[in-house]
């Protein structure tokens, strides 16, 4: 039977570290603060927001919510971001995406101050992740994958890793971060020929496809570690499932992250880590003046 790599111990370790650092910042009169910009009332945004509020409390991070109506204009959104940029007491900003169709995400990405971009919205952050240089933060979910693998001591240097999915928020940044850890990375997508073979050949398999239980026995082999980022609603089962067929994986692989209670629970902890880091940097810039 495969080992289950739960997210909770990883999230707890990151949160405790944040709380310690937030305590030290408090001694300097600084409260790490995150602004959360939400346009509309999408159920998954509201659910993520509730989760991050709980996590923030444990991490010693203060959260300011900026809730805009679904009908909000681009100007109003840009004004909200401009205010956040100018407010020195706010260290990080998360904007829920996707935005309603009439709003221009590209313009927003150029408007947010890169130093406050804690979830890799801006081009400057993306350049950092892809070049390995600079101070830009990676997308929280992509970094959560790396944190899970590191926490459970999965060797990455020299390992063959297959990443399935090439989105800018998960697949591509994960692949870059894995290469930075000296893994040999194969990236797969919907046009990949013989996906099963690429999956079987991997020592570590990262799934970010958004296809319920798409990866089953044919794509797995003994000894593998699988990180399942997928979150899919299974109508038949009436519950959330990953991209991995967990039942098949149980009998074959060495270990995998369950869905739910896997990578998803680490994402908000990584977000808090980014906010605390942004606050530490802001303080050190002030003391260097
Ligand atoms: P996305 O933008 O839709 O990208 C999906 C990727 O998977 C694309 O690159 C696509 O290939 C590839 N793909 C789709 N079907 C495939 C198939 N049959 N074979 C091979 N590749 C296939 O999704 P995303 O935003 O990256 O999210 C991926 C999953 O992660 C979703 O289930 C999402 O809900 C979940 N998620 C989890 C968290 C978390 O905290 N755990 C956070 C965010 C998202 P093409 O590029 O060729 O289309």
Same domain for 184 and 105: no
* Pocket probe mutation, ligand 1, options 208, 241, 264, max atoms within 8 Å of Cβ: 208
Mean pLDDT computed over 261-268: 96
How many angstroms separate the Cα of 168 from the Cα of each of 64, 82, 100, 135, 280? 27, 25, 19, 18, 27
Render pLDDT for 121-168 as a digit per residue (tens, 0 to 9).
Answer: 999 999 999 999 999 999 999 999 999 999 999 999 999 999 999 999
Of 241 and 236, the one with more pLDDT: 241
Is the CB of residue 253 below 6 angstroms from any atom belonging to ligand 1? no
Backbone angles phi, psi at 180, to 5 degrees: -65, -20
Residue with tokens 């959330």: 240
Please report the atom of ligand 1 found closest to the CA of residue 140.
40
Whether 225 contacts 204, CB under 8 Å:
yes
Residue 73 lies in a domain: yes
Count of alpha carbons within 13 angstroms of residue 197, beta-carbon side: 3
Report how many domains make up the chain: 2
Instruction: Tell whether ligand 1 has an atom less than 6 A from the beta carbon of residue 232.
Output: yes
Domain containing 47 — which CATH number? 3.40.50.10860
| Residues 61 and 146 grouped into a single domain | no
Domain that holds residue 168: 140-264
User: Tokens 């990236």 — which residue?
Assistant: 187
98 with 171, same domain: the answer is no
Amino acid 103: pLDDT: 97
Task: Give yes or no for residue 287 having a pLDDT over 90.
Answer: no
What is d(CA 224, CA 257) in angstroms, rounded to the nearest whole number?
Answer: 12
Residue 3 lies in a domain: no
For position 237, what pLDDT does the model report? 86
User: Does any domain span residue 14?
Assistant: no
288 occurs within a structural domain: no
Query: What pLDDT score does 288 carry?
Result: 75
Please report the atom of ligand 1 found closest to the CA of residue 166.
9
- Among protein residues, the one with the nearest Cα to ligand 1's atom 30 is 230
Do 91 and 150 lie in a common domain? no
What whole-number distance in Å separates Cα of residue 82 and Cα of residue 95?
13
CA of residue 221 to ligand 1 center, whole Å: 22
> What is the DSSP pairing of strand 160-164 with strand 204-207?
parallel
CA 211 / ligand 1 centre spacing (Å): 7
Q: What mean pLDDT comes out for the span 37-44? A: 96
Nearest CA owner, ligand 1 atom 35: 230
One domain for residues 145 and 226: yes
Counting residues of the chain whose pLDDT is more than 70, the rounded percentage is 100
Q: Are residues 258 and 174 in the same domain?
A: yes
Mean pLDDT, the chain, rounded, equals 97
Q: Is the model's pLDDT at 220 over the cut of 90?
A: yes
Whether residue 118 lies inside any domain: the answer is no
Mean pLDDT of 226-247: 95
Q: Residue 125 falls within a domain, yes or no?
A: no
Same domain, yes or no: 85 and 146: no
Terminal CA-to-CA distance of the chain, rounded, Å?
Answer: 57
Element (H, E) at 56: helix 43-59
For tokens 């030290």, the residue is 24
pLDDT at 285 over 90: no
* 130, two tokens: 């892809």
Read off the pLDDT of each residue in 163-176 and give the average, rounded to a whole number: 97
The structure tokens listed for 160 are 């063959």
Q: How far is the CA of 41 from the centre of ligand 1 (A)?
A: 23
Q: Which atom of ligand 1 is nearest to the CA of 211?
A: 15
Claim to verify: residue 149 and residue 107 sit in the same structural domain:
no
Structural domain includes residue 273: no
Give the residue-averaged pLDDT of 213-222: 98
Q: H-type helices in 181-250, by residue range?
A: 195-200, 246-250
Are residues 156 and 99 both part of a single domain? no
Span 50-83, pLDDT tens digits: 999 999 999 999 999 999 999 999 999 999 999 9
Same domain membership, residue 95 and residue 211: no
Residue 145 beta carbon below 6 angstroms from any ligand 1 atom: no
For residue 61, the CA-to-ligand 1 centroid distance in Å is: 30
Q: Read off the pTM.
A: 0.97
- In angstroms, what is the span from residue 219 Cα to ligand 1's centroid? 17
pLDDT of residue 236: 86
Please report whether residue 134 resides in a domain.
no
């Amino acid at each position: 039977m495969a080992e289950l790599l739960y997210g909770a111990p990883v999230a707890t370790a990151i949160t405790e570290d944040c709380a310690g650092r937030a305590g030290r910042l408090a001694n300097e009169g600084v409260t790490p603060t995150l602004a959360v910009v939400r346009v509309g009332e999408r159920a998954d945004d509201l659910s993520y927001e509730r989760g991050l509020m709980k996590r923030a409390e444990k991490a010693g991070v203060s959260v300011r919510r900026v809730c805009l109506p679904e009908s909000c204009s681009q100007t109003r959104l840009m004004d909200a971001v401009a205010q956040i940029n100018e407010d020195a007491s706010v260290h990080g900003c998360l904007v829920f995406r996707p935005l309603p169709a009439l709003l221009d995400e590209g313009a927003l990405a150029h408007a947010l101050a890169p130093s406050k971009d804690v979830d890799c919205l801006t081009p400057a952050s993306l350049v950092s992740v892809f070049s390995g240089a600079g101070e830009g933060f990676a997308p929280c979910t992509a970094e959560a994958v790396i944190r899970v693998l590191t926490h459970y001591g999965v060797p990455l240097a020299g390992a063959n890793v297959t990443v399935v999915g090439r989105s800018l928020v998960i697949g591509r940044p994960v692949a870059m971060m894995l290469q930075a850890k000296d893994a040999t990375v194969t990236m797969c997508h919907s046009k990949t020929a013989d996906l099963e073979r690429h999956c079987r050949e991997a020592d570590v398999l990262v799934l970010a496809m958004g296809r319920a239980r798409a990866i089953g026995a044919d794509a797995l082999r003994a000894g593998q570690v699988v990180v399942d980022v997928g979150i899919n609603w299974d109508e038949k089962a009436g519950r959330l499932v990953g991209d991995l067929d967990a039942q098949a994986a149980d009998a074959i692989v060495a270990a995998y992250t369950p869905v739910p209670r896997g990578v998803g629970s680490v994402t908000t902890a990584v977000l808090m880590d980014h906010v605390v880091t942004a606050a530490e940097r802001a303080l050190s810039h002030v003391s260097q003046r």
